[in-house]
């Protein structure tokens, strides 16, 4: 009997293996620059990554010190949407803030 998914579609060996694996996860990172105000970065982390003010401030200071910092880990489509939303918000406000995703 062929292995099928919930819809009754026959699955290849690769697809059978994939069904057992959790989806690949992506880290969303903020990068440091010399111009974006600290307060703006804290507000972004609170708004898009659901962090409280204290946690957001710690992440912002880590980015400021180390050059980059992790804001959260998400499935690919959610990580991509967060990167887009952050970049759109930053550009509208006239700041050069950079936000990227990396496979975790
Ligand atoms: N380095 C910036 C400043 O001194 C602050 C900053 C922090 C910018 C984090 C970007 O992702 C960033 N105003």
Strand order in the sheet with 25-31: 68-75, 25-31, 98-103
For the stretch 22-51, pLDDT in tens is: 889 999 999 999 999 999 999 999 999 999
Q: Whose CA is nearest to atom 5 of ligand 1?
A: 38
pLDDT in tens, 50-104: 999 999 999 999 999 999 999 999 999 999 999 999 999 999 999 999 999 999 9
Q: Do 59 and 69 form a contact (C-beta atoms < 8 A)? A: yes
In angstroms, what is the span from residue 28 Cα to ligand 1's centroid?
16
d(CA 42, CA 85): 15
Q: Rounded to two decimals, what is the model's pTM?
A: 0.86
Q: Atom 2 in ligand 1: which residue has the minimum CA distance?
A: 34
State the pLDDT at residue 20.
85
Alpha-carbon dihedral sign for residues 50, 54, 60, 63: negative
Cα of 40 to ligand 1 centre, how many Å?
9
98 CA: nearest ligand 1 atom = 11
Cα separation, 79 vs 81, whole angstroms: 5
| Residue 41 CB–ligand 1 contact under 6 Å | yes
Count CA within 13 A, CB hemisphere, residue 55. Answer: 10
CA distance 97 to 104: 22
Alpha helices, H only, 26-75: 38-49, 53-66
Alpha carbons 99 and 19: distance in angstroms, whole number:
30
Distance from the CA of 102 to the center of ligand 1, in angstroms? Answer: 20
């Amino acid at each position: 009997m062929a292995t099928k998914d919930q819809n009754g579609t026959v699955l290849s060996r690769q697809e059978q293996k994939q069904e057992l694996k959790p989806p690949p996860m992506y880290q969303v990172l903020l990068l440091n620059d010399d111009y974006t105000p600290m307060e703006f970065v804290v507000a972004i982390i609170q708004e898009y990554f659901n962090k409280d003010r204290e946690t957001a401030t710690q992440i912002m200071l880590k980015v400021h010190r180390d050059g980059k910092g992790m804001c959260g880990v998400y499935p690919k489509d959610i990580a991509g949407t967060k990167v887009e939303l952050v970049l759109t918000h930053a550009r509208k406000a006239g700041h050069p803030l950079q936000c990227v995703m990396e496979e975790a």
